[in-house]
Amino acid sequence: MGLHPSEILIGYEKAAKKVHEELENQTCYTLKSVADHDELLRCMKSSVASKQYGLEDLLGGLIT
């Protein structure tokens, strides 16, 4: 296509910067205190449930 590899690299670097900027805006909830067991459990349940559906309460309690 006539592109030099350095031009492709510059494009990837620009895309990486843009992704990092947008990632900061994608937060849906911020943990106020990691010492609060209930708040931490509520945040972890969705990620645990994505791998071990049905065991999120048991595993979440053990992890937190």
Number of Cβ atoms within 10 Å of the Cβ of 40: 16
Cα angle: 49, vertex 51, 56; to 5 degrees? 30
- 38 three-state secondary structure: helix
Residue 58 to residue 45: CA distance in whole angstroms: 10
pTM of the model: 0.47
What pLDDT does residue 61 have?
A: 78
Residue 10 to residue 14: CA distance in whole angstroms: 6
pLDDT in tens, the chain (64 residues): 788 999 999 999 999 999 998 988 887 777 788 777 788 888 788 788 887 788 877 877 777 7
Q: What's the token pair of residue 24?
A: 């900061």
What pLDDT does residue 10 have?
A: 95
